[in-house]
Amino acid sequence: MGDHPLKQEIAKADKAINERDFDTVANCYTDEAVLVVKPGTLVHGRESIKEAFKKIADYFNDSLKVSQGDMVIIEAGDIALVLSKTYVESPEKVDSAFAAERDAIYVYKKTADGKWLCAIDNSYGVELLKTTA
Amino acid sequence: MGDHPLKQEIAKADKAINERDFDTVANCYTDEAVLVVKPGTLVHGRESIKEAFKKIADYFNDSLKVSQGDMVIIEAGDIALVLSKTYVESPEKVDSAFAAERDAIYVYKKTADGKWLCAIDNSYGVELLKTTA
């Protein structure tokens, strides 16, 4: 699994988030992508996602560090489901609800030229089911 | 959420599974769909999925009953992520690992004529991360 292109794509996106390179972050998403900022708060579209990441970085005083652990990738044609241990750390906000280990769910879509783009970024995973009850 | 077309699609698929109507079941999936039969066992392609459901039904002596509870649907263009409380019951196999409540993850794709088809059917959800460690 170490060499899967999607693993590299996600590592690139994490690096860009951690370095406040928001143009690169935005280019990892489809035009119509959805980001779950927190349970109940969804952001739609690449440009809005870019703005959301700027706000998140500001909230953490640029101390945010996102990384991934174990990953399961299931490909079905031009769609892939990624399950990933995601670590969201920030020395500035140790008590924050943002700082946590999560079982994230990402859905990727492969473009006609073979590039994987994130369509749905839900780092909260199935935790969202708890907030609907 | 009660009227979302995807909720109806999934209810239709569950009904077909419970009634052994495997043609209808197969038609709920994309050509290249993937079904997670159990952790580590993936079945690829509509026809193979149809055969897998027949075997699963046989295993349960046709007593299988699949249903869904709370559901979260996140749409991003022609892709949708569905998180769903899934109930897999069978009076014939009460001790089976199959019989359980699960936080399932489904990925759907909308065809050009607006029909949602299942691309990835992972009723085990993020549990798959536990089997990779």
**Predicted-complex ipTM score:** 0.91
What does the pLDDT look like over A62-81, one tens digit per residue?
888 999 999 999 999 999 99
What does the pLDDT look like over A10-62, one tens digit per residue?
999 999 999 999 999 999 999 999 999 999 999 999 999 999 999 999 988 88
Within chain B, which residues score under 70 in pLDDT?
Answer: 1-2, 93-99, 132-133
Is-contact A64 A54, C-beta < 8 A? no
Of A74, A105, A133, the CB nearest to B81: A105
Is-contact B29 B120, C-beta < 8 A? no
Report the C-alpha gap between B23 and A103 in whole angstroms: 34
The CA dihedral of B124, A75, A46, A50, to the nearest 10 degrees, is: 70
pLDDT at B82: 98
pLDDT at B94: 61
Report the C-alpha gap between B6 and A126 in whole angstroms: 18
Domain ranges of chain B: 5-131
Q: What is the mean pLDDT of residues A107-130?
A: 95
* Residue B44 with chain A: CB contacts under 8 Å: 76
Subunit contact A72:B132, Cβ cutoff 8 A: yes
Number of Cβ within 10 Å of residue A22's Cβ equals 17
Subunit contact B120:A81, Cβ cutoff 8 A: yes
* Residue B48 with chain A: CB contacts under 8 Å: none
CATH topology of domain B5-131: Nuclear Transport Factor 2; Chain: A, (3.10.450)
Pair of tokens at residue A48: 């809005």
